[in-house]
Every structure is written in C-alpha cells, then in structure tokens.
Structure 1
Amino acid sequence: MDTIQTLISKSSVIYSEIEIKTVIQNIADQANQTIKTDDLYVLCVMNGALIFAGQLLPRLEKNVQYSYIHATRYADSLTGGSIDWLVRPPKEIEGKTVLILDDILDQGITLREIVATCEAMKAKAVYTAVLFDKEIAKEKSYSPNFIGLKVPNRFVFGYGLDCKGLGRNLPHLYALD
C-alpha cells in the first residue's frame, strides 16, 4: 500500500501553495467583476474542491449562500467512468445565480453534467470556476467561466485532489513522475 511519503517521492511539485493562493485571489477578482448580482449561491463539488472553496468564499464580495454537491466519475480509480451522483444540488438554487466550484477540469464531462442539472433545476444563471485545468489533447466538452492554473496531462494530487485517497491535505500541487 502506498503512503503519502511514497507518492511524494515519485512526484514533482507543479505549483506551490503561494502560487495557488495567488490564482485563487485572481479567480475571486474575476468573479466579483463578472457576476452582476449581489446574491450568489455557491456549490462546492466534493471532495476535491473543498480547499479551493474554503480559500475562495471569504474573497467573494457578494451575499453568499453555499452548499455542496458530490458528483464523481473517478471514485477511487485513476480513470473516469460514468457520473455517480452522491449528493445532488439543493432545491434552493431555483431562481438563484449559482457559482459551481470544482477542483480540476479534465474532459469537462462531470462539470457539464452538473451545470445541466442546475439549469434543469431552474437556476437563474450558472457560472463555473475550476482551480486546475488539465491540458489534454482532445477538445473538452465544457469550458468554465473562471480557470485557475493549467496543469500537464499527468496525474496530479494535493491541494484538494487525491491520489488513491491520499494527499488532499497537501499544500502544494504534485504530479506523478
């Protein structure tokens, strides 16, 4: 069984905590300027976006309500499968401007499904922010409103993202070598 120390020894730091926090402030600035409402309902995609949400929420200059959703294609796997809803968006999003926070955009399939679900639940408007955007060779099925940092097409973990259930609490973003 891998330990976090073993994973780190097989990895490289892609972004430091300082670089990540700087880009989170940039996302907050963009959202504050772009989203033209005083009231905002923020949905954190669990588990990966928890740290991102915790850093971003205090920087939003809006009347914020927030909750979480849990939709995954990965579970404990390194490759994506079909979407599994563990927690759907709350009914309270109806008629509200929603900002969805996600950890990483790979192909965009999960985020596209989350947005479609919120729209079907009659959210007034839906915005999305991803902390990391994986550079993949094929076209993505969804493009977020706010994007943090580009990451190489490697398996990454840390700052909310896990590797085999480990490393979400790491302050930097790592990529397996």
Structure 2
Amino acid sequence: MPLSTISLHDKQFAPYLTASQITAAVREVAASINRDYAGKQPLFVAVLNGSFMFVADLLKEIQLPCEIAFIRVASYEGTASTGTVREIMGLQEDVAGRDLIILEDIVDTGHTMKSLLELLQAKKPASLEVATLFLKPECLQHELGLRYVGLSIPNDFIVGYGLDYDGLGRNYPDVYTAV
C-alpha cells in the first residue's frame, strides 16, 4: 500500500523512507556493532525521546551480552534547534571503565551529541562511540567521529519512527519529510 501525505499540527509531510528501508539500515548498524564488540559487553546509552524505536529495533538485532541505560536531553522547539542542550533526565549508572555506545535517532547540527560526548567522556568510560540512525552531514557543525550511521540524509525536517513535530508523529513506522 503506497504511503500518503500526513498532517501534523500546521504542516504537511510527504513519504520519505519506508519501514523496510529503515529496518535494513538498523540491521546494518547492528551487524557492525556485533562485529566490533565481539567478546565485550557494551552499555548502550539511549537518548530519549526520539531514539526509542531505533533502540528497540537495534537491540533486537544485537547478539552480545549488553545493558541499556537512558538519558533525556532537549534542544529542539518546533522544527528548529535552540542551540542549547538541556539535560532533563540524567544517567544513573556508573560508566567508568565501561564500553559505551550512545544510541541517537538523528544527528543534525551535532550540538546535542557534542555535549553528550563531553558529559560522558568526563565519566571515564573505557570507550565511547555513537550509533545514530540518521545523519544530516550538510548541517553538522562539529567533528564528532561518528562510528555507526544508518542513513545520511539531506537537511530536511523529518518525522516518524520516533521523530516528532512538537510531540506528534513519533508513532509512524515510516519516515515523512515536511513539504
């Protein structure tokens, strides 16, 4: 069944990526992590709220002993980044000496990820990497050395598969772009 345009608040969104395209990207990221962390027990640090679908699907594909922790930060209002990262729910686990992999739904400017990397690096993990489902390379303003990227996409505002527009749209299994 072909995807159709959706309406969220005052905006229209057109189909962009299907659930099967997303699944393929998630499986590729998981395969790379499974290979790179063989014999290790990583701690995944999921960035809420947007990453919840990516995290759930990715961890189903991880074939390693692992743990999951959650952190919540905010940097968006509406369709634009505020440039300021606010920590809403902090990490409770002791991460010193652990292999950490941050799980993020999307990296665009990189402000949020840069702040998270600095915050977590200060806690002295054994290693620290990032796995993001989406990367917007033309927006990126920081050198982050992202090791695991599902899909590089243009600088368009997207919703679905965990990503929202002022709270709406996270529930769609496909991804839509603003028109």
Could you tell me the TM-score, scaled by structure 2's length?
A: 0.89
In the TM superposition, residue 89 of structure 1 has moved relative to its aligned partner by 2.1
Q: What do residues 130-151 of structure 1 show as CA deviations (whole Å, max 9, x unaligned)? A: 0011242564442311001122
Partner of 1:110: 112
1:10 partner SS: strand
Does residue 99 in structure 1 map to residue 101 in structure 2? yes
Paired with 2:94 and 2:51, the residues of 1 have a C-alpha distance of: 21
2:81 partner SS: coil
> Higher strand share goes to which structure?
2
In the TM superposition, residue 10 of structure 1 has moved relative to its aligned partner by 1.9
Residues 43 and 101 in structure 1, CA contact (< 8 A), matched pair in contact too: yes
**What is the number of residues matched between the two proteins?**
173
Q: What do residues 13-46 of structure 1 show as CA deviations (whole Å, max 9, x unaligned)? A: 1110000001100000011112354211011100
Residues 109 and 141 in structure 1, CA contact (< 8 A), matched pair in contact too: no
In the TM superposition, residue 61 of structure 1 has moved relative to its aligned partner by 1.9
Between stretches 102-111 and 89-98, larger displacement belongs to 89-98
1:150 corresponds, among 152, 155, 163, to 152
Residues 44 and 53 in structure 1, CA contact (< 8 A), matched pair in contact too: yes
Q: Which amino acid aligns with 2:115?
A: E
Which consecutive residues of structure 2, in runs of 5 or more, have no partner in the other structure? none
Structure 1's consecutive aligned runs of 4 or more residues displaced over 3 angstroms after TM superposition are 137-141
**Using a 3 Å threshold, how does the CA distance of structure 1 residues 139 and 114 change in structure 2: closer, same or farther?**
closer
In the TM superposition, residue 6 of structure 1 has moved relative to its aligned partner by 2.0
**What fraction of aligned residue pairs are identical, expressed as a percent?**
25
Could you tell me the TM-score, scaled by structure 1's length?
A: 0.90
Which consecutive residues of structure 1, in runs of 5 or more, have no partner in the other structure? none
In the TM superposition, residue 59 of structure 1 has moved relative to its aligned partner by 1.3
Matches within 5 A, 1:14-163: 14-74=16-76, 76-81=77-82, 82-136=84-138, 139-163=141-165
**Using a 3 Å threshold, how does the CA distance of structure 1 residues 137 and 97 change in structure 2: closer, same or farther?**
closer
Residues 69 and 93 in structure 2, CA contact (< 8 A), matched pair in contact too: no
What is the root-mean-square deviation of aligned Cα atoms in Å?
1.9
